[in-house]
Structure 1
């Protein structure tokens, strides 16, 4: 009985099946497809060498095999995270994507050494083509972001176009230090393409804007009203948050009055700064649907503070007052509020 054929990726399938599946997933990596396919081939080559070792009854230690399984699992997780993303996200995350892919390749180098395969030249040639692959990817990106049909083909309605503008502004204005000069130029080029191809007016970036791509949330709401549903989620690198998603039909453009009401709530909540008011981390008024992200907190006493700010909560009820162990109820600003006259 083969030990290798029984190796299983935790939470997934056997290594053999995962390696087969990765071939198809690499195609969804678009301009990074070649680099991803090369890494897959390296992992496949190692597995083939392990099979030869097994036939000679010279399999490496279980520790070494576990290391191989972890690297394959890491690569699968990487592909599942980045597969099938739209051009704008691939552009913004390209530097990060390639950095992570480089690290996985270096983990494979370590595997070669552990398994005694470092002397096989064909398995160590990836560095020679890595730079060339990066150059080709940059050329493809440059062509695509300047092509109106390509860019606007993924931004079918005004909301999508506005969100793209906001996202590009956010990255170039708020996070320029994270991007190379070349990446900044590509984002500026794409911004010009979107502006030229859209009838939407470029809006000023709100101080509270938060990209939807940085947020994951549970599909099941733990609370819901007539205007929004409330979910638990994770923001960024692992911050647990609460997400308020406005009940707007994704198939239609947002009515102007509804849009203004949503933006007014975001602007108002962002102004609050009190330990007993649930903190708002950010929001997006142009996403489908619009959302607000706030701290996953359950204590505080903010109603008096809100009244001093001449703000009426508008939906005060037990569901919006969250008791805590420290016996200070927190004022949840999940429902609509409005300034008092």
Structure 2
């Protein structure tokens, strides 16, 4: 290899030396995997043979200018990364996943074949015959491992703890049950044999945890971005892919060492079983979970449009629709006897379809750990959405979620966190007194009334969630209608739906005409203070009536009839 290195650097400047270093690394990694060394070495030998011929062609100036050298380098890099990850696993874990390893090695061989065809490397025709020994090599490997397993009565004693044992057991069950006849000859028998050997080392009271639920997925089958895009006291959140490239979000939990693994796994099972069965448009979908990893994780639907508070900053017209949808999702959770317990706008996500999705609910084991991990600052900041009865550490109730939803309304509508930057001790004292955030004063009377009823100090006197859903639905429908209202001065429609600013006359008076028309419809009167303003708007409307929409004409007609019952109303065409 050293001789090849010197030649490669000269023949392929800037590339040859790097390729030699990668191949040397692959060779060393193969030596660390005793059970697969022979199979892995054959792959490395093929790569080395190709590099040698490429160097010879370069020296003889017969190397085609379009030779796929970058493809060859990418392939060698992929092989090194793959073997490096595999070599770091313990022997037992490598054996259990050997069918996946062999599948990947076979794919590498096939890619080498295609490269050789592109390069027309007839001199290496012998290296194309790897398939003739492939099945024999696999059979030899399987027999070797089976013989080792048969001689070991307590294979599980080589695993660190109950989590590691259950991880291997689940992996075996998953592969045998899912792949079945797809496993290579002898592998299924070997894996079953290995399963029962390891199961013997599991304490009888923990054997019930050795199961594979419908939602289970091995960690090896999820491609997780190493860098989290969000991190809290008890979890990190990563982008990832599953099932041939589907984008997902992966939430990895940080575990407290003093909490027994058996307790965490049992709770994880119970709560994932609940979440996986939930099926609602406004609940974030759970796809998979893995309770046995050193960091248990959940694979969930990716909601690319951020959370509700961030989304409504650029889509204000969607505010009430999303709040209504969040209430529908919460109502569904309650119908399944699930308390969210941590509802706030950043736990209401907006999916690719533009719909609200409630997330981060129900994990009591997560909340139990978070209280131990969270800093004082993090714990007190949460009080801005918490119901008063939860401030003393009591478990949240259904009515507590109603209170938190009320705070979400305040946050989404005002664009400010409830209570703002107020001192936490002052906020907690105000909450137990039944006071509401100062931002509530900025709300319209109808919304202020809704929030006040949802956030009553006495949980039993809070507005029932079903009633809150109905009132939010009404507000959402009103917002949709008002988004189409014209300017009060020039009667042109806003350029942006929901905008209060008129791009035509550069006035910000759409909000006034909304309020005036609402007052007329509700009470049948226009006070003297606004009479001139309404009249001006009506004159502008009449002047441009041919271009007005019928629903606008209907609203104008309502005002005209009120101002002058005997006058001629503007009729819709």
State the TM-score bracket (shorter-chain normalisation): 0.7 to 0.9
Q: In the alignment, which of 258, 262, 285 is matched to residue 268 of structure 2?
A: 262
Q: In the alignment, which of 271, 278, 283 is matched to residue 277 of structure 1?
A: 283
Q: Distance in 2 between matches of 1:248 and 1:290?
A: 8
Q: Distance in 1 between matches of 2:265 and 2:132?
A: 52
Deviations 1:304-329, CA, capped at 9 Å, x for gaps: 21122232111112221124576532
Q: Distance in 1 between matches of 2:227 and 2:145?
A: 37
* 1:265 CA drift (Å): 2.0
TM-score (norm. length: structure 1): 0.82
Q: Distance in 2 between matches of 1:121 and 1:89?
A: 36
Q: Which residue of 1 aligns with 2:198?
A: 194
* 1:96 CA drift (Å): 3.6
Deviations 1:147-170, CA, capped at 9 Å, x for gaps: 437832542211111222222222
Q: Which residue of 2 aligns with 1:320?
A: 347
Deviations 1:105-158, CA, capped at 9 Å, x for gaps: 344344445545424565456445434322221112212333437832542211
Would the alpha carbon gap of residues 50 and 167 (structure 1) be closer, same or farther in structure 2, given more than 3 Å must change?
closer
Deviations 1:199-242, CA, capped at 9 Å, x for gaps: 25322432322222222434554445555443333334322222
* 1:340 CA drift (Å): 6.2
Structure 1: which 5+ runs fail to align?
Answer: none
Q: Does 1:207 align with 2:214?
A: yes
Q: Distance in 2 between matches of 1:192 and 1:326?
A: 47
Structure 2: which 5+ runs fail to align?
Answer: 1-8, 306-324, 365-395, 400-573
* 1:66 CA drift (Å): 4.2
Q: Distance in 2 between matches of 1:251 and 1:238?
A: 37
* 1:251 CA drift (Å): 8.3
The answer on whether the counterparts of 2:339 and 2:362 sit within 8 Å (CA) in structure 1 is: no
TM-score (norm. length: structure 2): 0.52
Q: Does 1:18 align with 2:15?
A: no
Deviations 1:164-207, CA, capped at 9 Å, x for gaps: 22222222233324424522211110111101223253224323
The answer on whether the counterparts of 2:339 and 2:398 sit within 8 Å (CA) in structure 1 is: yes
Q: Does 1:237 align with 2:244?
A: yes
Q: Distance in 2 between matches of 1:274 and 1:226?
A: 28
Q: Please identify, of 58-67 and 119-128, the stretch whose mean Cα deviation from structure 2 is larger.
A: 119-128
Residues matched between the structures, number? 336
* 1:277 CA drift (Å): 0.6
The answer on whether the counterparts of 2:149 and 2:194 sit within 8 Å (CA) in structure 1 is: yes
Would the alpha carbon gap of residues 220 and 117 (structure 1) be closer, same or farther in structure 2, given more than 3 Å must change?
closer
- Could you say which structure has the greater relative contact order, defined with CA pairs below 8 angstroms and 6 or more residues apart? 1
Q: Does 1:155 align with 2:159?
A: yes
Q: In the alignment, which of 294, 303, 317 is matched to residue 300 of structure 2?
A: 294
Q: Distance in 2 between matches of 1:331 and 1:20?
A: 51
Q: Distance in 1 between matches of 2:33 and 2:19?
A: 21
Would the alpha carbon gap of residues 74 and 242 (structure 1) be closer, same or farther in structure 2, given more than 3 Å must change?
closer
* Secondary structure, counterpart of 1:275 in structure 2: coil
CA RMSD, Structure 1 to Structure 2 (Å): 3.3
Q: Please state which structure has a larger fraction of its residues in helix.
A: 2
Would the alpha carbon gap of residues 218 and 23 (structure 1) be closer, same or farther in structure 2, given more than 3 Å must change?
same
Q: Which residue of 1 aligns with 2:76?
A: 72
Q: Distance in 1 between matches of 2:125 and 2:278?
A: 62
Would the alpha carbon gap of residues 124 and 255 (structure 1) be closer, same or farther in structure 2, given more than 3 Å must change?
closer
Q: Distance in 1 between matches of 2:86 and 2:332?
A: 43
Q: Distance in 1 between matches of 2:106 and 2:333?
A: 50
Q: Which residue of 1 aligns with 2:99?
A: 95
Q: Distance in 2 between matches of 1:238 and 1:91?
A: 26
Q: In the alignment, which of 293, 300, 303 is matched to residue 330 of structure 2?
A: 303
Q: Please identify, of 147-156 and 48-57, the stretch whose mean Cα deviation from structure 2 is larger.
A: 147-156
Q: In the alignment, which of 331, 335, 340 is matched to residue 358 of structure 2?
A: 331
Would the alpha carbon gap of residues 120 and 226 (structure 1) be closer, same or farther in structure 2, given more than 3 Å must change?
closer
Q: Please state which structure has a larger fraction of its residues in strand.
A: 1
* Secondary structure, counterpart of 1:312 in structure 2: coil
The answer on whether the counterparts of 1:222 and 1:231 sit within 8 Å (CA) in structure 2 is: yes
The answer on whether the counterparts of 2:54 and 2:63 sit within 8 Å (CA) in structure 1 is: yes
The answer on whether the counterparts of 2:30 and 2:83 sit within 8 Å (CA) in structure 1 is: yes
Deviations 1:249-279, CA, capped at 9 Å, x for gaps: 36873263x4443333212212211121111
Would the alpha carbon gap of residues 222 and 66 (structure 1) be closer, same or farther in structure 2, given more than 3 Å must change?
closer
Q: Does 1:176 align with 2:180?
A: yes
